[in-house]
Amino acid sequence: MFGGIASVLYAAVVLAWSLRPDSEIAFSTPLWWTVCGAFLGAVGAVGVPIVLWVHYRVRSPVALMAGLLLFWHVLVEYPPIGSGQGDTPGFTFVFLFAPLYAAGYLLLAVVERWLRGRTGPKLVAG
């Protein structure tokens, strides 16, 4: 539930940010494709680590998510890493690489659970 709420909020913030008059983001797809794509990207980038944290008590995916969002939304915007000339790359790469982030989150969760041993709730039922 918390992962879904966070995904909806993140997608809403991205879409609201893109509606600003001075935004460089332009959508070439129909509105429903844009909203669905933003939500699916947000699930992969934001929802998965929150679900892993709430349900399985693994924290490393949330740390990676925080680092990724910090990188794409803050550090890329400002020099010396970024050009300081727009918000398009941050939003684009968070959504574009969401499947890779979700795979990384799952891998980190498995490694964290393995390092902790077999105490607490299991990540994989079996």
DSSP string, 49-83: HHHHHHHH---HHHHHHHHHHHIIIIITTSTTTS-
Spatial distance between the Cα atoms of 119 and 105, rounded to a whole number of angstroms: 20
Task: Flag whether pLDDT at 84 surpasses 70.
Answer: no
pLDDT of amino acid 104: 93
pLDDT of amino acid 102: 93
- Contact present, 50 and 6 (Cβ < 8 Å): yes
Rounded to 5°, angle at Cα 102 from 97 and 106: 150
Residues whose CB is less than 8 angstroms from the CB of residue 107 and which lie 6 or more positions away in sequence, other chains included: none
* pTM of structure: 0.78
> Where do the structural domains in the chain lie, given as residue ranges?
2-20+28-116
pLDDT of amino acid 38: 86
Note the residue count of the chain.
126
Residue 22: pLDDT band (50, 70, 90) is confident
Residues whose CB is less than 8 angstroms from the CB of residue 47 and which lie 6 or more positions away in sequence, other chains included: 3, 4, 6, 7
| Mean pLDDT calculated for residue range 58-78 | 86
Report the mean per-residue pLDDT for the chain.
82
Task: Flag whether pLDDT at 51 surpasses 90.
Answer: yes
Among 21-25, 47-51, 73-77, 116-120, name the most confident range. 47-51
